[in-house]
Amino acid sequence: MTTIDNLLIKIVNHASPAIEEQIPQRDSKILRSIASSINSHIYITENQSKLLIKILREHENKITDFSQQIQSALTNLSWAKPFRRIEQVKKLQIKKNEEHESILCIEITFSHEIRQILTNLSKSIPDMIAYNTKNWQCELTEKNIVTLYDTFAPLNFEIDEDIKNYYTTIKSWSKSDIENQFLITNIEHKNFQKAITDDLGLSTTINQNIINDRSMRYQYHQDPKNLGEDLTENIANRSKPRIWIDKKQHTMTAVVASIIELKRLPLLIVFDTLVNNKYLENLKILSKSLEENGIFDGVGVYFRLPNDEMGKQFNTFIAEKSYNYQLCDDTNVACVMSGKLPKFFLRNAWKPMSVIALDSRMGMRHGKTAVYSNCCDLIIEWADEPSTMDIKLK
């Protein structure tokens, strides 16, 4: 009796007609690949044998010179050797990455089902990276630990004891107890009181908007927040540091007024380099808004334009308004270009309390200015519509 593997060797070695002339190219390539494994010292796996049987069944009538032998072999399945066994690796571990930082690492032998699970998980774990089909990594965070443990524990993964312990600890936490620790009415630590006093000053009248506004900066929450209809309340009750303000509905004068009301000077203004036809227009809008809010001094524009027609007007306007104030503790408003932060900003103790990006297309997600602005818990994108990055993230 001819075994299926020996029969395959005869089929692929048959010169005329060749296997490629009888069945689709994709299937003929697979048969030759399996035949190569059969002839090697590693042999084939059980999954390869199933694939071989499937292809032979589909094409037994097309491989005319061997049709009867194929039918007989498929009726009495036999193999010349035992199948090669593949060690099944399914591990969830904590390892070190190239920067020697602890990360979560998923190691698997190839499995279409598990790979599909990982692909779906990457939608809820944005930092997950597939280095190859057998190795996936993501940051070591509480959320990632719970998500991965809940996903892979039922699939009999080998899971590090440290991960199991972390999971048990995290699941023991009470969400309400943790949140209540950060209610402003429950925080008594002296450093917390000192930080707010240093920020606002002893003589500042603190209203509900300011209390809500500082919750992100000082990591407390006010329960519940009262969302209002005016611009200041909407800014104060933001859920994330970055917010988009529709310039068609709210003027720059109104935005600056809200910044002042929330005690959020000094202010960093970012001119988008991708919208370079609006430099002069936006500078004039900004100037009018500052003056209407009583800001005439302490304004510095820390870039200049080439001496073309618009550039000359832009540079002249800066000189006329004396917007060449040196960056220091007394600077109220500093203006820069996106992606081109002057080096002296990094050496100076001055830091913005708020940032406004004018007509930002990319939402200040990249570049030196974006990185510098991340120190601030209020970044306003004042434009006709949300940036392309914001649209993509939704």
pLDDT per position as a tens digit, 210-230: 878 888 887 777 665 556 678
In a domain, 18, yes or no: yes
Q: Retrieve residue 12's tokens.
A: 């692929």
The chain-wide mean pLDDT, for the chain, equals 86
Same domain, 202 and 290: no
Please report the pLDDT score of residue 187 as a whole number.
59
In a domain, 84, yes or no: no
Please report the pLDDT score of residue 193 as a whole number.
58
Please report the pLDDT score of residue 393 as a whole number.
36
Please report the pLDDT score of residue 320 as a whole number.
96
Segment 192-198 mean pLDDT: 63
CATH number for the domain harbouring residue 146: 3.30.780
pLDDT per position as a tens digit, 166-177: 999 999 988 777
Same domain, 137 and 210: no
pLDDT per position as a tens digit, 354-393: 999 998 765 566 678 888 988 899 999 999 888 654 543 3
pTM of the model: 0.57
Same domain, 151 and 277: no
Regarding predicted confidence, which is higher, 26 or 275? 26
CATH number for the domain harbouring residue 270: 3.40.50
In a domain, 124, yes or no: yes
Is 232:378 a contact under the CB 8 Å cutoff? Answer: no
Please report the pLDDT score of residue 353 as a whole number.
95
Same domain, 208 and 294: no
Q: How many residues does the chain have?
A: 394
pLDDT per position as a tens digit, 113-148: 888 888 888 888 878 888 777 888 999 999 999 999
- pLDDT at residue 317 tops 70: yes
Q: Which domain holds residue 204?
A: 174-239
- pLDDT at residue 203 tops 60: no
Last residue of a domain, one of 224, 239, 254: 239
Segment 279-307 mean pLDDT: 95
Q: How many domains does the chain have?
A: 4
Please report the pLDDT score of residue 366 as a whole number.
67
Please report the pLDDT score of residue 112 as a whole number.
78
Helices (H), the chain: 4-13, 25-39, 46-59, 67-75, 112-124, 142-152, 161-172, 175-181, 190-200, 208-213, 215-218, 231-236, 252-261, 279-292, 309-321, 344-347, 368-373, 388-393
Going from the C-alpha of 182 to that of each of 220, 223, 228, 234, the distances in angstroms are: 5, 10, 23, 22
Same domain, 372 and 258: yes
pLDDT per position as a tens digit, 252-268: 999 999 999 999 999 99
Same domain, 148 and 108: yes
Regarding predicted confidence, which is higher, 311 or 203? 311
